[in-house]
Chains A and B, each alone.
Chain A
Amino acid sequence: MKKAFCMMAALAAMTLYASPPARAADGKVIVYTAAPQEIVDKIVPAFEKKTGIKVELVKAGAGELINRLKAEKGRQTADVIWSVGGDILQANPDLLGTYTPAGADKVFPEVKPTGKWTPFTLIATSFIINTSMLAPADRPRTWQDLANPKYKGKISIARLDKSSSSYIQLAALLQIDGLDKGWDLYSRILDNTQLANSSGAVPKFVNDGEAAIGICNEDVGLLYKNGGGPVEVIYPADGTTAQADGMAMLATPANPAAGKAYLDFALSVEGQTLVASVGRRPVRMDVPALASLAPLSSMKLVNYNLEWAAGYQKTALAKWNDIIMSK
């Protein structure tokens, strides 16, 4: 009896003292990511197989990941942030370390690595439409169309405070229409919108018929289309943008060597070919994109100012909060 009691005490004491090493890392890399599962399933097993380094993922929206990193600042909780919007990385340089992965010279000159963060893929903003819910004549073609009251409750957009792709959508719209008209339009679109908790959920809702229209990244929309879902991916006729999602070393990594190996792999020909196979546009000039993706030259691309978008993010978030809190 005494033994059992002592053992319990010992177990309690042991866990009290043994818990700090949960932070330490050996032969593993801790990756914060907003990547969709399809990309995780391609990259992570291939990386683990090639390097023998175990990957531990924390998956959440880019906004939540950045806030976690702010809260954990100075602590070695993660090594790498991977596949979040370039704007949000640009806006938070103090959370990032410096590293330029091997192969950076092969990246398209429009999206050169900054030294702090490196582009991982290119994603165009698109509308995904449920074709069995909306007849061709009823489908929206422009951002303006989305504000039409007939779409009330039928649009799905990811929360701005969770998803960096949502911010890129908004920033593109603001650069197409200007701040005043852009916000007015976005606010009217929000009147028609059911907010989703993650950008990955948006095409799923449209595919499952819970929403008729979604604003989302083209690649996830395409996955449902290629999988036989009743969906169509279109690019808004009044303008869209193809922006990089980025990756970076964190300021206080626990295992810098593993982190660097991870970034190198993500930018390697092998890694880029893997992401291209699920419909993402690779950032390397020497890796071709999937043929079913519409060529960028067929879209009306807005002249997207990343510096401005990164700087405006905090203001935009406050304004968005204000709008949805009042609805």
Chain B
Amino acid sequence: MTGLSALFRKGPGGLFTFWNVVFALCLAMIAVLLLRPISEVFVVGFIDPDSGAFTLTNYVRVLTRPYYLAALRNTLVVGGGGALGACIIGVPLAYFVARFRVKGRNVISTVAVLALVSPPFIGAYSWILVLGSNGWITRLLRAWGIAFPSIYGTPGIILVFTLKFFPFVYLMTEGALRSVNRSYEEAAANLGCAPLSRFFRITLPLVFPAVSSGAILAFVLSIADFGTPAVIGRNANTLSTIAYNQYTSEMGGTPSIAVAISMLMIVISMAAVFLQRYFLGKRRYAGAFTNLPEQKPLSGLFGILVYGFCALVVLFAALPMIVVFYTSLLATNGPVFTGAFGLSSYQRVWRELPNVVGNSFLFSLAAVAMISLTSAFISYVVVRRETWLAGLLDSLLMVPYVVPGVVMAIGFTLTFNKPPVDLIGTALIIILVVFIRRLPYGVRSTSSILRQIKPSIEEAAINLGSPPAKAFLKVTVPIMIPGIIVGAMMSFITAINELSSTLLLYTGATATMPVKIYAAVLDGEFGLAAALSTILLVSSGICVFVVFRLSENREGAFV
């Protein structure tokens, strides 16, 4: 570290101060890893794949052909359905838990967080195991002579998204409901407003920012998700599955149509985010920390209904995890379940796929190490330097939220496919794509803790003669460590569950667990998929535990 500090011990007013250099490096990194791939995607969309000339035909084709329009419609339907479903479950659950003395609140929030961190495609395939055409319940009902409607297609996708994303709405809304000023509701009650109408006319509007943030998040993540429609969608294509299909059929040539579809996805996500900002901007909300609402006791029929509702939600949200764990313990003979219990699926993982498990951990750890390192510096720049450039950096970090993984991966293959930077088929390209996609999670976590640290401590160190780099590393970073660890855990969870971008970038030597699970599910190898999924879920669960221990606002860290 002495070498480093000597390096940056230039005059305090010079251009090449430590933080200026860090700032420049951050911007350069974002330019290369984020802006360049996205602009490649943007440009290629306007290029004729045969002649290389400028053209609008790619977009015209995507916006006129029935095949693409059907996918666009499906995307909006499952995105809207997922968001709506998340609200229908999340808002009542939040209201019950926040306003009544519901026992087992910790169980509900733990299951919600676990549902949130488990990859959606695992949910999709466990619902196939239960309600698919050969699923347990389907077979049971068939034995009784009841025909069960198909779960495949948009209904299945919406079911999975609802149960996957309701925790966003629940966790955000619950926090908001707890901090609403009680007097508004009491005033309405005194004026004779009935409880139900009071909820819709007073309470719900007051927590609208939280509900809408959760819903928009569910919408954006739903339309970007690849694994769920690919596994359970069958003939119902969404933009992300046709972007992937189109990309694989254009591979080796120019993926013009695939990028045109990609741009469409980005536009929809951005429109959703801006729409929400616009609605929020028109109203003013005052957070109140006085006169907080009280929790009422539950009794009678209403109490039974509330508990029944909570229990059902917990059961449905936890079902994929239970199914996956149970299935992983069934003995298999090839793709066929023998009916007995056994560890043969784990033995197959151990025998055939140890490198895949190793890859997953190696890539995720590498990406997380880079994220932790970079986000410490970036959040310092963003939080402590209130220039417009720092503001720009902050807004640029919003971009990975609205760019679907499939699109980011296509951008990477377009950018890093020829010397001097030829990364196709390497582990590095997977690590880098995961890094840039998950960097915002790390930055958000470190920024929030940095905002609570007074700059004066660090300034004192500098006044006493310490160089800025040393002051940052020896004074500020140690205080930031809990935030860095929480950020690292959050990034690790999302990194190890990443499917949509890695599926386009992997080769034989760089396959990861989600990629193999996806392939195994398509092949009907449900035992193998279940064993790998259990390993993923347990890894994520351990990280959740660490975050719970380190974070003051346990569930808040996840939304």
Contact = CB atoms under 8 A, between A and B. Distances in A.
Interface of A: 1-2, 5-6, 8-9, 11-12, 15-16, 19-20, 22-23, 25, 30-32, 37-38, 41, 56-60, 63-64, 66-73, 75, 77-78, 159, 161-162, 194-195, 197-198, 200-201, 204, 208-210, 227, 317, 321, 324-327
19 contacts: A6-B1, A8-B369, A8-B373, A12-B369, A15-B362, A15-B369, A20-B428, A22-B425, A22-B427, A22-B509, A25-B509, A64-B249, A68-B251, A71-B251, A71-B417, A77-B508, A200-B523, A227-B336, A325-B65
Contacts of B522: 197-198, 200-201
Contacts of B373: 5, 8-9, 12
Interface in B330-346: 334-336
A77 B507 contact: yes
Contacts of A200: 522-524
A77 B425 contact: yes
A78 B65 contact: no
A201 B426 CA distance: 30
Interface in B490-515: 507-511
B252 interface: yes
A69 B334 CA distance: 29
Given A22-B509, A67-B249, A325-B65, A38 B334 contact: yes
- Among A70, A71, A198, A317, chain B packs the most CB atoms within 10 A around the CB of A71
A37 B428 CA distance: 30
Contacts of A161: 245, 248-249
Given A5-B477, A11-B366, A56-B508, A37 B334 contact: yes
Given A19-B427, A23-B426, A204-B524, A30 B477 contact: no
B426 A19 contact: yes
Given A11-B369, A68-B251, A19 B509 contact: no
Contacts of B507: 30, 58, 68, 72, 77-78
A68 B249 CA distance: 9
Given A8-B373, A208-B134, 5 more contacts: A5-B477, A22-B425, A23-B425, A59-B523, A201-B524
B370 interface: yes
B68 A72 contact: no
Contact of B245 (A69, A159, A326): A159
Contacts of A16: 366, 428
Given A37-B525, A38-B334, A209-B133, A327 B252 contact: no
B96 interface: no
Given A78-B508, A204-B524, A326-B66, A210 B133 contact: yes
Contacts of A317: 249
B168 interface: no
A67 B481 contact: no
A102 to B, nearest CB: 25
Given A37-B525, A208-B133, A325-B65, A67 B248 contact: yes
A117 to B, nearest CB: 18
A215 B372 CA distance: 52
Q: Is the interface of B mostly helix, strand, loop or mixed?
A: helix
B459 to A, nearest CB: 20
Contacts of A198: 522
Contacts, number: 147
Given A71-B252, A326-B67, A11 B424 contact: no
Interface in B50-76: 61, 65-68
Contacts of A162: 245, 248-249
Nearest to A67: B251
Nearest to A32: B508
Contacts of A66: 252
Interface string B442-482: 00000000000000000000000000000001100110010
Given A12-B366, A70-B251, A197-B522, A22 B334 contact: no
- Among A16, A32, A73, A227, chain B packs the most CB atoms within 10 A around the CB of A16
Nearest to B516: A59
B1 A2 contact: yes
A47 B229 CA distance: 36
A195 B235 contact: yes
Interface in B100-129: none
B251 A324 contact: no
B413 interface: yes
Contact of B431 (A19, A56, A194): A19
B385 interface: no
A59 B66 CA distance: 31
Given A72-B424, A72-B507, A324-B67, A8 B251 contact: no
